[in-house]
Amino acid sequence: MIALVTGGYRGIGLGIATALSRDGYQVVITGRRDRSETYPVLESLSKNGAEAEYVQADVSNAADRQRLVETVEKRFGRLDVLVNNAGIAPRVRADVLDATEESFNELISVNLKGPYFLTQTVAKWMIRQRQADSSYRGCIINVSSISGTVASVSRGDYCISKAGIAMATKLWVVRLAEFGIDVYEIRPGIIETDMTKIVKGKYDALIEGDLLLEKRWGTPADIGKAAAMLARGDLPYASGSVLSLDGGLTVARL
């Protein structure tokens, strides 16, 4: 079985790629960096017993998206799981009163437009696979964020991009249901990654307080376990489900 994980070189994406490789998936990861920088990660994934490949691709670029899918099809001949994980934070955290169109356009292009149209291309391929083999089961997992529902006025562009992913998940699950292709959303909370290093002190203090019910940072491995469960089909009769892995942050409390 083959899984494609965008942004799978580090952080949450690597946590997902690792969990899938342990389940026997041959994993293709993507990113913007040069392939030469990915050898240690590919070696680590391959130690789990399954082949790992890297394709340099920017999901916000239409030509890159097309080349990525064509490369996977040429190399493996099939694709069972797509994980739309690639995403960026704003280069500068700016109040919504001061935010720039440049930042907004960049965030929407990478975090929302890219996965939306990559899903479109992959879904058409998955449909062809299903039509050729009725036992084929495709699975698409969108990684969003609690920022899609919890307002953060210093990252409005990021919040809007992730809210868009939540709606995209609903759209794709409705459209692809007739083809037996499951679509899910994983909504992480405060996860310890390179992206969150710059706010570690702030969140360490909040976690020590009463922000979370589970008083710890989430880890990429936490997200990886959830993605692997969905990919395996361990959550039947639940296509379109949203898994909030946030330590209880968004649980309403008095």
Q: Please state, as a whole number, how many other Cβ atoms lie within 10 Å of the Cβ of residue 53.
A: 20
Calpha distance 113→164 (Å, rounded): 9
What's the Cα-to-Cα distance from 207 to each of 12, 132, 138, 200, rounded to whole Å? 20, 50, 37, 10
The answer to whether 137 and 120 are in contact (CB under 8 A) is no
Using alpha carbons, select from 119, 92, 94, 5 the residue that is nearest to residue 54.
Answer: 5
| Six token digits for residue 205 | 């203090």
* Residue (of 68, 42, 65, 46) closest to 55 by Cα position: 68
Decide if 50 contacts 27 (C-beta within 8 A). yes
Residue 83 makes CB contacts below 8 A (sequence gap 6+) with 3, 4, 5, 6, 8, 13, 16, 20, 140, 141, 143, 227
Residue 184 a catalytic site member = no
Which one from 158, 184, 203, 237 is the annotated catalytic residue? 158
Tokens linked to 64 = 């890159």
Catalytic residue ranges = 158
